[in-house]
Amino acid sequence: MDDQRVSILERIGLEKPLVQAGMGGVSRHLLAAAVSEAGGLGTIAVPGAAAIASELAAARSMTSKPVAVNLLLPFARRSWFEAAAAADVVVTFWGTPKRRVPGIWLHQCGSVDEAHAARAAGADGVIVQGVEAGGHVRGTEPALELLERVKAALPDYPMFLAGGIATRTDVENAVASGADAAVAGTRFLLSDECVAHPEYKQRLLSANSTILTELFGFGWPAPHRVVANEATASQAGPSGEIPFINKLINRASAAGARFTPESVQRRAVAHQSPTSRMLTPHAPSEDLPRRFVEAGPLYAGETVARIDKLLSAEKIVTSLVG
């Protein structure tokens, strides 16, 4: 814990108090490298040890600055951690925190209890996630409120804030409230370098609201924030509630998802339709057919209402932290 006298940003080698959130399947080397090169911390989030290694190598060929890898605990296997250990920072999410890599490790958490657990497990810091965040949502209260409570419970512990970050003022508020850095996902999804499907980006640019639901929970029954599409219109209620049968199917699928080969998962994704009861959590990436934008989760945070332009990752970093 001696290292804590050196700030977490210095330990990482981070120039600016800004992190691009790992976004499963859509934050790959192009985005991560561009963010890191601009002075923020770029994060790669892809499933599979080989993909992690090749994305990290590709990012390294584009920048010599620090790069992070994000791993989802319900799915990550030992080989994924081994590949991720080559990154400058490993970020984990969703599950019991446990140290699995020797280097700098951050755990994204949604409660004071979870922050305590991360610290007890030896995490170098936490990302405090608020309920307004996009993607899977661990937090149940606004990010700044949770930050205040985590800060009070663990005053000297490094902590970043995720949720609600779209402008320079948002970053300044986060830092003024005691965050070492701000974490933005949706803002970086709406960048040229993000490999989300172009139609997915367009939907977000014109969206004014989001839904918190468990609809896309096949293999991972957990709350997530999305923008409406045909799937939510046909199966989710106005506040995101889903039919009991979907809940049952999602719950029953959870145990097998970790052991389902990537190839089988990709086939399930290719056949997904808006009325299917088995809606997987795969985000619509640019390599999926356009119709998947109606059948897959259009993950986005509440900031989507305040973002109306696609920008380069470099411009986003500049607009957020100068």
Ligand X SMILES: Cc1cc2nc3c(=O)[nH]c(=O)nc-3n(C[C@H](O)[C@H](O)[C@H](O)COP(=O)(O)O)c2cc1C
Using CB under 6 A, list all residues that contact ligand X.
21-24, 26, 45, 70, 72, 93, 108, 129, 133-136, 162-163, 165, 183-187, 189, 283, 299-301, 303
For the bound state, the minimum distance from the C-beta of residue 307 to ligand X, rounded and expressed in Å, comes to 9
| 262, 291 contact by CB (below 8 A) | no
For the bound state, the minimum distance from the C-beta of residue 5 to ligand X, rounded and expressed in Å, comes to 28
DSSP β-bridge partners for residue 67: 42
| 134, 299 contact by CB (below 8 A) | yes
For the bound state, the minimum distance from the C-beta of residue 309 to ligand X, rounded and expressed in Å, comes to 16
CA distances from 204 to 13, 210, 222, 262, 320 (A): 32, 10, 22, 27, 19
Q: Which is nearer to ligand X, 129 or 229 (CB)?
A: 129
Q: Which is nearer to ligand X, 3 or 128 (CB)?
A: 128
Q: Which is nearer to ligand X, 108 or 272 (CB)?
A: 108
Q: Which is nearer to ligand X, 9 or 128 (CB)?
A: 128
Q: What are phi and psi of 304, to 5 degrees?
A: -55, -30
For the bound state, the minimum distance from the C-beta of residue 299 to ligand X, rounded and expressed in Å, comes to 3
From CA 108, how far away is CA 128, in angstroms rounded?
A: 6
Cite the DSSP H helix spans in 29-95: 29-37, 49-62, 78-84
For the bound state, the minimum distance from the C-beta of residue 40 to ligand X, rounded and expressed in Å, comes to 13
Contacts of residue 97, defined as CB under 8 A and 6 or more positions apart, other chains included, come to 73, 107, 109, 114, 117, 118, 121, 123
Q: Which is nearer to ligand X, 178 or 223 (CB)?
A: 223
Q: Indicate the length of the chain as a whole number.
A: 322
